[in-house]
Amino acid sequence: MSQAKDTLLRLFALLRLIPTEPQRIATPTLLEKLRDRGFTVTLRSIQRDLSRLSIPFSLQCDDSKIPFRWSFTREAPLKLEDMDAPTALALFLSESHLSPILPQSVLDQLNPQFRRARNFLSGLGGNGLADWAKRVRTLPNGKTLIPAQVSAHTWAQVSTGLLERKQLKVTYLSRSKGELKHFRLNPAGLVSRHSVSYLLASVDGYSDLRQFALHRFSEVAVLDQAGQEHESFDVDAYIASGVFSHREAEAEVELIADVRPQIAALLNETPLSHQQTLSGPSKAGWHRLQAIVPLDRETLWWIFALNENIRLHAPQVWVEEIRRQLDSIQALYLVPPSPQLQPA
């Protein structure tokens, strides 16, 4: 019984060492790794094991040169290969990137993979990638708000309804009216934007799509009734329509502005759009920026965030809005604060 158990553990360890094509691993390398894991094994026994396992586990052998190299096919029914260092590091960085923007209930679904990656990196010892895990971080561009809390139940029900195309019975807090509403929803898609995740769905009896913030569901249940099909729905086209960016017009516009050298350097490396040119500097040190951009609020907020580092010339509608906002801000700060707001 002990011998059978040892054989089973060795075969399991062997399968975990084999990568998926196009990557391959040579039989002598497999022998070395198995011995490092404490298995007493010969090259001949590994070759016999691989031959026996090739059909049921969809293994393939590259015998074009010696030593032979093995891999799982892409259609293999079971993926048992061990995590490699680049994958573990990618997962480690993904965790730090996703944590500020996804609700905790979603992160809980990913935690086993994140934990596996951390354990793998911790066990690398002298491998340089192990040090990377302590030295590399992802930082958001700008202030990131704490993700809105979404219960595990809500996430599970919404995911099931969306993937199984079932109706959802929900109680939803309407932010505009400040009251609870009861709906039957036909799910169409899901979008995570900044710190809020939205279900895209139509209310039963209507065909237009609306956005429902997941954290505003107080009750949600999957119904047996099939949801309305949204056959022509394309999430990328939906986003491009500007529903999330407060787009002011369908057509794009030419943005013309003068920017400081540090902003020009940033835009040279990370352009504002695919149609962008930068010229200059002028005698005053400004660079002329020209770019084709959507006429949306997000681009305008980006301009506001640059403060005195940008001087906008076009489009005129934004120039006029900036003037109005500046007048409003100036008027606001010219008024002394209320006595109760004054510092002690």
91 and 158 share a domain? no
CA atoms within 13 A on the CB side of 329: 8
Which among 26, 47, 72 is the end of a domain?
72
**pLDDT at position 322 over 90:** yes
Q: How many CA atoms lie within 13 A of 66 on its CB side?
A: 1
Residues counted in the chain: 344
* In-domain check, residue 143: no
Q: Which of 86, 99, 164 is nearest to 137 (CA)?
A: 99
Domains in the chain: how many in total?
A: 4
Q: Would 291 be classed as within a structural domain?
A: yes
CA dist 199 and 227 (Å) reads 14
Query: Strand pairing partners for 296?
Result: 247
- Which has more pLDDT, 89 or 60? 60
On whether both 157 and 236 belong to a single domain, the answer is yes
Read off the tokens for 288: 């002329």
Residue 343's pLDDT is what? 57
Question: In angstroms, rounded to a whole number, what is the distance separating the alpha carbons of residues 153 and 175?
Answer: 21
User: Which CATH number is 310's domain given?
Assistant: 3.30.70
Domain that holds residue 265: 247-332
> 96 and 159 share a domain?
no
| Domain final residue, candidates 46, 72, 98 | 72
Under DSSP, is residue 192 helix (H, G, I), strand (E, B) or coil? strand
**Mean pLDDT calculated for residue range 120-133:** 60
107 falls within a domain: yes
Are residue 260 and residue 300 in the same domain, yes or no?
yes
CA distances from 229 to 189, 201, 280 (A): 11, 10, 53
Report the amino acid identity of residue 26: A
Residue 22 sits in the same domain as residue 94: no
* 161 and 233 part of one domain: yes
pLDDT tens digits for 74-98?
877 666 555 666 777 777 777 777 7
**CATH number of the domain residue 43 falls in:** 1.10.10
CA end-to-end span of the chain = 79
**Distance, CA of 55 to CA of 69 (rounded, Å):** 16
Sequence-distant (≥ 6) Cβ neighbours of residue 195 within 8 angstroms: 100, 101, 144, 145, 146, 147, 148
Same domain (yes/no): 253, 236 = no
Can you list the pairs that 57-63 forms with residues at least 24 positions away whose Cβ atoms lie under 8 Å?
A: 57/15, 59/18, 60/21, 62/24
Among the residue ranges 3-12, 44-53, 202-211, 287-296, the one predicted with the least confidence is: 3-12
Label residue 309 by pLDDT band (50, 70, 90): very high
The tokens of 296 are what? Answer: 């949306």
In tens, the pLDDT along 204-220 reads: 888 889 999 999 999 99
In terms of domains, do 191 and 157 share one? Answer: yes
Q: Are 115 and 121 in contact (CB under 8 A)?
A: no
One domain, residues 232 and 274: no
With cut-offs at 50, 70 and 90, classify the pLDDT of residue 259: very high
Q: What's the predicted TM-score (pTM) here?
A: 0.58
Residue 131 within any structural domain of the chain: yes
Domain harbouring 163, CATH code: 2.30.30.530
E strand map for 21-143? 25-26, 59-62, 69-72
Query: CA-CA distance, 103 to 199, in Å (whole number)?
Result: 14
User: Which one of 214, 240, 266 terminates a domain?
Assistant: 240
Query: Do the Cβ atoms of 121 and 89 come closer than 8 Å?
Result: yes
User: Which has more pLDDT, 305 or 96?
Assistant: 305
Q: Residue 30: enclosing H or E segment and its boundaries?
A: helix 27-36
Same domain, 117 and 192: no
**Does residue 79 belong to any structural domain of this protein?**
no
Q: Are residues 236 and 262 in the same domain?
A: no
Q: Which two tokens stand for residue 187?
A: 């799910």
Q: Report the amino acid identity of residue 123.
A: G
Residue 77 lies in a domain: no
Same domain for 19 and 40: yes
Helix (H, G, I), strand (E, B) or coil at 15: helix
Which is nearest to 219 in space by CA: 182, 179, 268? Answer: 182
Closest to 198 (Cα-Cα) out of 181, 214, 210: 214
Residue 141 included in any domain: no
Rg (CA), the chain: 28
User: Is residue 340 in some structural domain?
Assistant: no
